[in-house]
């Protein structure tokens, strides 16, 4: 698997998000529901996403994932119910674009973890995935996911 791992500075990004906990087995449904709720709210208030939807993983416990699903937006927007307004912090990140099935995501993560260690960096422990298409639109082998790992 050929991965182009990039080191860059990321600007702070305003977002609307829903944060919850779920087991891996229920993750796809949780993500789909959260994106639907947030997208409907954006439409209601006359706004558009500023970039692809994302999921942030605050841990990697597959039985009790602490996840945040959201959309980057152009500025701070009002919250409603479980839809919160916040930011993805700016700073140094390592990223790569992965093409393929979500079930094979462990491979690019392991390569990125190795790159971080070999280059003397330390990760913050939050992992972002930006989804540029969905399994409803393309075959699994064509899924495009940008993985972003913030660094200390």
φ/ψ of residue 39, rounded to 5: -65, -40
The strand ranges marked E within 23-88 are 54-57, 65-72, 84-88
13: Cβ contacts below 8 Å, ≥ 6 apart: 50, 51, 72, 87, 88, 90
Q: Write the pLDDT tens digit of every residue in 108-126.
A: 999 999 999 999 999 999 9
If one counts every other C-beta atom within 10 angstroms of the C-beta of residue 18, the result is 19
Domains and their CATH numbers in the chain: 6-150 (3.20.80.10)
- Model pTM? 0.94
Q: Which residues pair with 120 in a beta bridge?
A: none
How far, in Å, are 36, 39, 46, 119 from residue 43 at the CA level?
11, 6, 5, 43
C-beta of residue 58 within 8 angstroms of C-beta of residue 66: yes
What's the pLDDT tens digit per position in 31-41? Answer: 999 999 999 99
What is the mean predicted confidence (pLDDT) over 121-147? 95
């Amino acid at each position: 698997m050929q991965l182009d791992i990039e080191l860059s500075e990321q600007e702070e990004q305003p977002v609307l998000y829903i944060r919850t906990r779920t087991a891996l087995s229920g993750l796809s449904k949780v993500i789909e529901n959260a994106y639907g709720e947030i997208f409907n709210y954006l439409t209601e208030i006359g706004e558009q996403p500023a970039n692809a939807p994302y999921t942030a993983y605050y841990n990697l416990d597959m039985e009790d994932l602490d996840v945040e699903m959201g959309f980057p937006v152009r500025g701070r927007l009002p919250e409603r119910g479980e839809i919160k307004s916040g930011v993805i912090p700016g700073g140094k990140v390592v990223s790569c674009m992965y093409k393929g099935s979500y079930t094979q995501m462990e491979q690019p993560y392991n390569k990125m973890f190795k790159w971080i260690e070999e280059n003397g960096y330390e990760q913050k422990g939050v992992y972002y995935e930006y989804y540029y298409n969905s399994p409803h639109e393309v075959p699994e082998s064509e899924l495009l996911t940008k993985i972003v790992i913030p660094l200390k």
